[in-house]
Structures are given as structure tokens and as C-alpha cells.
A and B are shown apart, each in its own frame.
Chain A
Amino acid sequence: MTDTALKPHLSRPHLIELLRQMVRIRRFEEKCVELYQAEKIRGFLHVYDGEEAVAVGIVQALEADDAIVATYREHGQAIARGVPMTALMAEMYGKQEGCSRGRGGSMHIFDAKARFYGGNAIVGGGIPLAVGLALADKMQKRPRVTCCFFGDGAVAEGAFHESLNLAELWKLPVLFVCENNRYSMGTALALTESETDLHLKAQSYRVPSEVVDGMDVVAVEAAARRAVGAVRAGGGPQFLECRTYRFRAHSMFDPELYRPKAEVEEWKKRGPIARFSDWLKQTGILHEADFAAIETDAEREVAAAVAFAEAGTWEPVKDLTKFVYAEPSP
């Protein structure tokens, strides 16, 4: 699993941090599913179980003033990025203490402080935004990177192709991260793409690309550091195809008729948390007590987030028409 070149990043505290972040996401998502069933969360809910290594690995390579543009399956990115879990859970509830004041819900997480630009629920629709954010940075000569997450489904959208072309043409500082979980909703990649080796599409636009084992958080982090380094050095965009798998249904309305249960079980054995934990155990880096502490902390944090959301308040209906137009600054 490891590569000697990556050793500088593999300090014990950092490894604990990687595991801790993945566990925080997993426990948060499990709670969201539970709360959906309890009808505390409504609308569409897309959870990230199985894909945690991608968000956690990528975010390690970003600086505080880099930007993230994500999709409707973005709780993991938000948590890894440091959006407070309390505000995130309040957003799930639609409470005004939510990170988007409850106006967005699960699919529309925004946080100006974290430079987290959604939560975009039109497949591929966030990609041009990321290109524009990067253009603004380049024109204002800020050494920032915009990291744009999207799924394998987005690769079929025109916005993807137009955006990659534009980003490379103008050498914009974008890290494109394709979370290839093999299904665009319920349709397998091979049924929608003539070329299923997605990173090749990036290469056709001359965007340097790499395939990464998206179930291996260390591999993702290493690739992200390489790619972000290249972007920040001014070489234009980079593309990572992280091959991963979604353990749960696409959304809460999905009976999963399109994939065999055995396939899901097979991937779960290679799950990012299980695999990383096994390795940490085998190498003796972490002990039972460490794992227990991480679990306890995550559960406590999730419980606190739920309590915060429960105690949150509904935005008064008199404010219904707020946030449609911004007021001119005085």
C-alpha cells in the first residue's frame, strides 16, 4: 500500500487524522440515513459511504484559501474540508442554523469561510463554475487552486468537455477530481460511455491525468499532492480519476435493481476504512484503544450535531423572499 516516496506524509498523527476524517464522514452519513428514515431529513439524500478516501485524501492537499466545488453527494467533502458538522446537520434538517441557512438542504452545502461552493445538483453544472473561480484567481494573480469534484456520470455532459478544454486552453488552476463509482445513478459506466477509461478523455484535452485507487486514502492523498503541486506551480489544470464505489443506494429512493448484491459485498471488503484500519493494525501504528477513541469521538461529534440541529430554529416564513437578490453594498 505504501510507497517510500510518500513516507514524509505518513507520520502517526497524520495517519490518525486520515482515519479520523473518514470515520467522521461514515458516522455522519449513517446518522443521516437513520434520520431520513425518521423523517427528520427530507428531499433527496445522497450519502458517501464507501467513497470517503477520495474526499479525505484530496482535501489533505488543499490550502485554506483554495476553493472546492462539489456535487450533490458532498457531505464528505464538506466534513473533510472542515465545515462544522453542527451546521451541516442543521442544514440537513433545513434549520436556519444550517451552513446554507437551511435554504439548500443535503444537495446544496455552501460555506464561504471554507470556500465551499456547493453542493451543485445539476450533473456537470459545477464544472464551469470551478473554471471561472480559477480564472478569477489567475487574473488576480492569487496562487490558489480550485478543486472540482464530479462523478463518472458528469463525463457524459457537454459541460465537462467544454470546461476541460477551456481550463487547459487558458492554463487555469483547477484540479478536476472524477469520483468514478462506476454507476451514473443506476446505469453502469459501460452502458453510457464508449470509452470507460475516463482519464483518457482528459488527456485528449491535454490535461495531465492520473488514475488513482480511490479506495486507498494514502494513494489519493499522494496523487492529490502531486497534482495540486503541479497546478499551483502554474502548469494549468490536472485531472485525477479516483476509482471508487458507493456502498449504499444512489439516493433514498433507489431499490438498487441495477447491481448484484455480491458486487457490493465484494467492494465493501475493500472499503477504504476497513482496508486502512487493517493496515494500521498490521503495521502496529494504531492499537485497539486508538480505534476506539476515534470511534467514540466521531459518535460524540455526530450526537452533538444532531442535538444542535434538533435545537435549531425554523426560519420565519416572513423571511421567505430573502436571498433572491443581494442588496447593493452601501
Chain B
Amino acid sequence: MSAEGPAPATMRTTYREAVRQAIREALLADERVFLMGEDIGRYGGCYAVSKGLLAEFGPERIRDTPLSEGAYVGAGIGAALGGMRPIVEVMTVNFSLLALDQIVNNAATLLHMSGGQFNVPVVIRMATGAGRQVAAQHSHSLEGWYAHIPGIKIVAPATIEDARGMLATALRDPNPVLIFEHVMLYNMEGDLAATAGAVDIEKAVIRRPGRDVSLLTYGGTLFKTLEAADALAKEGIQAEVVDLRSLRPLDEATIVGSVSRTRRAVIVDEGWKTGGLSAEIMARIMEHAFWELDAPVARVCSAEIPMPYPRHLEQAALPQPAAIVAAARGTLGR
């Protein structure tokens, strides 16, 4: 951070490329690491994340699997028990429901049921979220469900830096870590330091400081929230944007710290409200910052419907900057 030194070299890249480089680096660094999932090899990954990796690392370490989510996620868990460091890619969170038994009943419980004997150092990556008009079986944000489960860790990289850096830390973690990559982020371009590497997977980060209202979000809605904060700034409202990054555990200290300063909070979550992550965050605020609040906590979530196909309806169902702005104004009585 020396003022005299040359500015660190950065490169132009994409979120997709950052994830790919993270996987490459992990494969190069540790021979126990391998990638498996549907269409990750010859096809290159359904979001093209793993394109080129088969040619570089070969079919032993880049394993195309049958469409058997239960078996290959379970096999990832078993391989982790057997000393490997698997990265399991599930095309989308919607398909991960076919592996829910393995994740919830095995990955999350084995350490506990075995009295501490068997930990499960598996990393499971999957895409989440809407925006590509792929309707009600490919668009939902179910990471909040997973965040309900003790025994697993849930992270949602929203930035290119986190897309590049969370995987290495997740692989070093002795516990099962689920990484949720929002489908609308893969094409996002940005600058990444050439030296970018591992980042923590526990702390929330304030992406934009502000004093008037805290906007708490993660993943795909971070940039909509930042856009809303820009709009609010034009009205003289200084919104603080908190990127949760880790959904389990939640960084309660950062959430409560921010809300205690701004005294107002809006939660932005692409999941549904009912029984969701936004409800949990509201509850934490009630438990720990109730007396600091100047207004009821608000939230902007997806409409409580299965995601529709037509673009105008899909967009209407999703959290949008205008709704975030309105909710933030509301907490200020404007």
C-alpha cells in the first residue's frame, strides 16, 4: 500500500474468467483437487466456466458426469472423506435439489454424527438466480434454503475479486462449502489485480459507505443495489451498501454495526420473502439492533410466484433499483 510504489498491475477480465482462473489455480496448486459435474469437460460447462480445462488437465481431473446429481454430489462428499479436495459443479441450484439428500443429510451431518471423526472438505459450486428468461425451473434463488442448514458454509461471490478468491479459501476449509454464482454475473467485466488471490469467506464488506440507510444484499443484486445507492445519492440520501458475501455464517457484527450507525435498513434478496434469508436478517436486526432503529426494516425481494418466462414479467418479479430506492426512501419517511 506504499504511496510511492507503482500501481499494481491490473487486468481486464470477466467474472466467468475469474472463476475459471480460480479453478485452474486450485488444480495446479493441489493434486487432490479435481472438478466434476455435468458437461464441464467436452462441452466446457453450461456457463462456459470450465472451457479449456479438460485440454489442460485431462479427464482424470476434469470429470464429465452422468445426469445423476445425487450420485456425483454424493461421490464428491465421499471423495472428500477419502482425502481428495473435489470441486463439484451443479449446473444450477434448481438441479441441486436432486442432490439435497446428499448435501443436507450427509455433507452437513457426517462430522457431527461421527463425533468429530469425519469432516467433509468438499466444495460445491452452482449457478443461481434469474434474468435469462429460463422460467420457473431454472431461475430461482434457493441459497437461503441452504443457509438454513448447520454444518455447511454458504458463500455468494458478487464481485470479480470474490469470484477469483473465494474458491481457494473454500478448498482450504475443512468443511463443506457451497458457492453460489449468480447467472447474470458471469459476463460482468471488470479490472482485477494481477496479484489477486485468496480472500476470506466469512466477512461482509461495505461496498459503499453511507450514513443514512443500510442496504444489505449479496450476489446478483449487489449491482442493482449500488445503482439504487447512486440514485439515492442524487437525492441527498447517503446509502451504505453491505455485501454479505457469506450467507452462513452471517457476519452479524458487520450487519449490526452498519445498521446501528445508519439506524435504517433495507434488505435486498432475490429469494422470496416468506421464510427466507431476508426474514432471517431482519430477525437478527430485531435481536441485536432494535433499539438503534429509527424506522421499521424494509425489504425488497422477488415476487412470490414461480418465475415467469416473458421478459417484462420476469423483470417485474425481480428486485429492481427503483424498488430499492423507494424502500430506502420509505425508511426515511420520504
Contact = CB atoms under 8 A, between A and B. Distances in A.
Contacts, number: 156
Contact of B34 (A69, A139, A323): A139
Interface in A81-119: 96, 98-104, 108, 110-112, 117-119
Contacts of B114: 100, 103-104, 108, 110, 112, 118, 323
Given A128-B75, A159-B70, A166-B68, A326 B82 contact: no
Contacts of B70: 128, 158-159, 162
A135 B84 contact: yes
A135 B112 contact: no
Interface string B114-127: 11111100000000
Contacts of A329: 174
A107 to B, nearest CB: 9
Given A128-B74, A136-B84, A163-B74, A327 B65 contact: no
Nearest to B104: A122
Query: Secondary structure at chain A's binding surface: helix, strand, loop or mixed?
Result: mixed
Max chain A C-beta neighbours (<10 A), residue from B77, B82, B174: B82
B276 to A, nearest CB: 22
A162 B66 contact: yes
A112 B76 CA distance: 19
Interface in B70-97: 70-84, 86
Contact of B71 (A108, A163, A323): A163
B48 interface: no
Contacts of B68: 158, 162-163, 165-166
Contacts of B86: 132
A67 B78 CA distance: 11
B220 interface: no
Contacts of A140: 32, 82-84
A101 B74 contact: no
A79 interface: no
Interface of B: 32, 34, 60, 63, 65-66, 68, 70-84, 86, 101-102, 105-106, 110-119, 150-151, 153, 172-175
7 contacts: A110-B110, A128-B102, A131-B74, A133-B78, A158-B70, A159-B101, A324-B111
